[in-house]
Amino acid sequence: MAHCPFDFFTDRKKHTICLVGGGGKTTVMYELAAAWAACGRKVLVLTSTHILQPADGSFAADVPAVQNLWQQGRYAVIGTPEFATGKLTLPPQRVYEALKLQADVILCEADGSRHHPCKVPAEHEPVLLPDSDIVLAVAGMDALGNSLQQACQRPQLAAELLGCGAEKILDAQMLTVLLLSEQGSRKNVGTRTYYIVLNKCDLIKAAQQEEMLRLLVGAGMDERRIWLRERGDSKC
């Protein structure tokens, strides 16, 4: 596996990171959490929307349970269980406030995509944590070559943003617009540092990867803040 290339991954500083965009956010979030925990960092994982409650023992119902997981060298997942759905929502504010001071890294899934590889956020999305300093936008490269209707959550919003019909086939230029637009993945980022994860790059050819990188950098994105990620590609 290759290393996560982003500077924040190894700077040993405290960070609160919100993940937004298309499918793959949860996988990237948990892989980063595990890698940081393996490096001895106290990692807190939560959502500002909904995620499935993990079944691997990483869910912590209270502050002592979180501290116990950290002592074991594991990351801790917090949230409010929805018993009807098996999902977690935002944790109680008092629990989050108590733990955010102790955590070295906080990872928050701040957007949903219903497994679509890309998306355009609705008016109420994303739900970024006010104290977050980094936004990590994820897009699956399996979106390329499919119609907006197939590849995007909220395809009509994507079509409006791109000025085309929802049946239009998504290409690299269009995906670049979705990733860099303040109506797209960059919505409400503000002064936070913005990074992009091009996920599932093992599913596309090297020339397509190079084209995506060229388009993003050409539109002003710092190349050091773009990760051409293959599946299973996170470690310390």
pLDDT in tens, 97-147: 999 999 999 999 999 888 899 999 999 999 999 999 999 999 999 999 999
Tell me the angle at which helices 155-162 and 172-180 cross, rounded to the nearest 10 degrees.
100
In the prediction, which pLDDT does 2 show? Answer: 45
Q: Is residue 79 part of a domain?
A: yes
Which range of residues forms the domain containing residue 65?
9-228
CB proximity list for 207: less than 8 A, separation 6 or greater: none
Residue 118 identity (one-letter amino acid): C
Of 32, 13, 8, the C-alpha closest to 235 is 32
Helix (H, G, I), strand (E, B) or coil at 118: strand
Q: Is residue 3 part of a domain?
A: no
* pLDDT tens digits in sequence order for the chain, 236 residues long: 347 899 999 999 999 999 999 978 999 999 999 999 999 999 999 999 999 999 999 999 999 999 999 999 999 999 999 999 999 999 999 999 999 999 999 999 999 888 899 999 999 999 999 999 999 999 999 999 999 999 999 999 999 999 999 999 999 999 999 999 999 999 999 999 999 999 999 999 999 999 999 999 999 999 999 999 987 665 54
Residue 175 identity (one-letter amino acid): L
Q: Is residue 235 part of a domain?
A: no
Q: Is residue 166 part of a domain?
A: yes
Q: Is residue 59 part of a domain?
A: yes
pTM of the model: 0.95
Return the CATH number at 28: 3.40.50
Cα distances (angstroms) measured from residue 34 to each of 30, 38, 53, 235: 6, 6, 16, 8
What six digits make up the tokens of 35? 């890698």
Number of domains in the chain: 1
